[in-house]
């Protein structure tokens, strides 16, 4: 005889379809197994109902829900774009503030000191070019120190945070670059005694683009290789352009027009702000992208 074991719990709960109910009830009349089953499920049902009956829902939940609803609705009703923008700004600001504590502290006084030395040299020697020469070097050194897993006191923290590493690097870079810009501007203003005021703009422009490019390059190299290598390479690239190559070649007696052409192009590159700024942006994008891979490589090296 077929039993209705699967249907009985539903029957007891009153959830069996009426078409099945009559068949089951007919069967029940003569089947003691299923009768027992009904009794069993009845007591289960009673027990579950009894256990639930002792549960009382907390009072005032509807009020709390409504309060929650109002709270969330208010800022959204007045300018949704505004509040989102404000939240984004707050997030960016808190990231900047948090990262500003984690940047190596030596950066601030050292670069200020070197810049001050540059200003003094320029003032004493009456050569404003000293600032144009020094500003990119200081900036490059600072940025090369940003990504430095071996010596970063906060490196573990950085790796452990849910904020992606490129955002952190970007935040640090923004802080330090702003600082570089400010001290370079201050240095330029300090030169006012030896340069005519209308020349100030030209002076600023002459270090701005090289500074941006060189520091971006230093940052990228520091991510790829290491801080010290980045500083060395970027310094060499910057200083070498001041050499008079044709004279050196003449002395060595190996004059070549091709080399000279190349050299002129190289020197021109440092003097064309547009090209420099475009390459800066490209290098920065690559740098931000390579943070993803560098982390892994550098951790392996430090192990």
By the rule CB under 8 A, 69 interacts with other proteins: yes
Contact 132, 206 (CB under 8 A): yes
Contact 119, 190 (CB under 8 A): yes
Interface residue with other proteins, options 3, 20, 33, 46 (CB under 8 A): 46
Interface residue with other proteins, options 20, 23, 33, 64 (CB under 8 A): 64
Q: Which is nearer to other proteins, 62 or 265 (CB)?
A: 62
By the rule CB under 8 A, 52 interacts with other proteins: yes
* Rounded Cα gap, residues 295 and 147, in angstroms: 10
By the rule CB under 8 A, 19 interacts with other proteins: no
CB of 191 to other proteins, least distance (A): 58
Which has the closest alpha carbon to 212: 118, 106, 112, 284? Answer: 284
Which has the closest alpha carbon to 185: 242, 138, 237? Answer: 138
CB of 190 to other proteins, least distance (A): 55
User: What sign for the dihedral angle of Cα 287, 99, 189, 134?
Assistant: negative
**Binding string, residues 169-188; x marks residues near other proteins by CB under 8 A:** --------------------
Burial class (CB in 10 A: 0-12, 13-18, 19+), 221: buried
Please give the structure tokens belonging to residue 111.
């670069």
* Rounded Cα gap, residues 241 and 83, in angstroms: 50
| Interhelix angle 273-302/165-190, nearest 10 degrees | 130
* Rounded Cα gap, residues 109 and 115, in angstroms: 10
CB of 121 to other proteins, least distance (A): 59
Q: Which residues contact 121 (CB under 8 A, 6 or more apart)?
A: 127, 130
Binding span for other proteins by CB under 8 A among 53-61, 157-165, 169-177, 279-287: 53-61
By the rule CB under 8 A, 266 interacts with other proteins: no
By the rule CB under 8 A, 32 interacts with other proteins: no
The CA angle 134-135-137, to the nearest 5 degrees, is 65
Interface residue with other proteins, options 1, 55, 81, 236 (CB under 8 A): 55
Binding span for other proteins by CB under 8 A among 54-62, 102-110, 231-239, 290-298: 54-62
DSSP 196: -
By the rule CB under 8 A, 12 interacts with other proteins: yes
Q: Which is nearer to other proteins, 37 or 152 (CB)?
A: 37
By the rule CB under 8 A, 57 interacts with other proteins: yes
By the rule CB under 8 A, 162 interacts with other proteins: no
Q: Which is nearer to other proteins, 45 or 174 (CB)?
A: 45
Catalog residues that contact other proteins under the rule CB under 8 A: 5-6, 9-10, 12-15, 18, 21, 25, 28-29, 35, 40, 43-49, 51-52, 54-58, 61-66, 68-69
């Amino acid at each position: 005889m077929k039993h209705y074991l699967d249907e009985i719990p539903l029957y007891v709960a009153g959830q069996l379809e009426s078409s099945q109910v009559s068949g089951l009830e007919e069967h029940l009349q003569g089947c003691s197994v299923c009768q027992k089953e009904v009794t069993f499920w009845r007591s289960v049902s009673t027990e579950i109902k009894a256990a639930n009956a002792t549960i009382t829902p907390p009072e005032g939940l509807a009020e709390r829900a409504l309060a929650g609803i109002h709270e969330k609705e208010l800022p959204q009703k007045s300018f949704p774009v505004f509040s989102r923008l404000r939240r984004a700004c707050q997030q960016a600001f808190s990231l900047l503030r948090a990262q500003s504590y984690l940047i190596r502290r030596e950066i601030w006084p050292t670069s200020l000191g070197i810049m001050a030395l540059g200003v003094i040299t320029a003032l004493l020697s009456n050569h404003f070019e000293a600032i144009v020469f020094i500003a990119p070097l200081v900036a490059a050194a600072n940025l090369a120190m940003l990504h430095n897993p071996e010596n970063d006191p906060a490196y573990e923290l950085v790796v452990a945070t849910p904020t992606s590493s490129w955002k952190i690097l970007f935040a640090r870079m923004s802080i330090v670059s702003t600082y570089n810009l400010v001290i370079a501007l201050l240095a330029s203003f300090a030169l006012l005694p030896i340069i005519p005021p209308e020349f100030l703009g030209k002076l600023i422009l002459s270090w701005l683009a090289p500074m941006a490019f060189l520091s971006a390059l230093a940052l990228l190299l520091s991510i790829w290789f290491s801080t010290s290598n980045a500083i060395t390479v970027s310094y060499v690239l910057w200083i070498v352009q001041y050499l008079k190559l044709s004279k050196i070649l003449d002395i060595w007696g190996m004059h070549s027009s091709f080399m000279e052409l190349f050299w002129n192009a190289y020197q021109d590159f440092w003097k064309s702000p547009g090209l420099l700024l475009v390459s800066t942006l490209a290098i920065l994008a690559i740098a931000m992208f390579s943070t993803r891979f560098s982390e892994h490589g550098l951790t392996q090296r430090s192990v």
